[in-house]
Amino acid sequence: MTKRIAIGLSSAFWLLMALLLLLKGYSRLEFSKLSYDYFLCFVGVCFLVLGAIKGKIVLQKIAKKRVQSILASSEPVPFSVPFPPRFLALIFCMMGLGIVIKNLPLPLSYLGFFDFALALALFLGSLPYWQARKLEGEKDVDEETL
């Protein structure tokens, strides 16, 4: 696959996971309690802030490393470059953590906010892929015009 396709596939994967978590969180939230319970609103805001921090600090760092390795590789880019074994192990660990948290005796609204926070983190983490894809596209346009 080309570098542009590898970056696009990686960004689509991150955004698909974010969308699935967003839908899952939406289905878990109990909106009737949100308007009456200020503590629940505070917890929701805390979850979203933590998700934004995780996305900006941790996941964007991972995504930037993946983008750099894709851009440094020669074409055709093997599947193991955008999705190396360590990255896949991280994904499976996060899935396992999600299963453990799902089985904890927590209110559905907390689980919904947790899913929203992870969705926000994944969305913010995917931004380096989109920036690299845009830059790669501009590079292709410049090469064609020369």
In angstroms, the CA 9 to CA 6 distance is: 5
In angstroms, the CA 128 to CA 60 distance is: 7
Parent domain of 62: 3-145
Structurally, the chain folds into a number of domains equal to 1
User: pLDDT: is 17 or 142 the higher one?
Assistant: 17
Q: Is the pTM of this model over 0.75?
A: yes
In angstroms, the CA 12 to CA 36 distance is: 37
- Asked whether the beta carbons of 82 and 7 are under 8 A apart, the reply is yes
Radius of gyration of the chain (CA): 18
Alpha helix positions (H), the chain: 3-28, 31-34, 38-53, 60-72, 85-102, 108-125, 127-145
Mean pLDDT of 104-131: 86
Q: Is the pLDDT of residue 145 over 70?
A: no
User: Out of 41-45, 46-50, 58-62, 112-116, which region has the weakest mean confidence (pLDDT)?
Assistant: 41-45
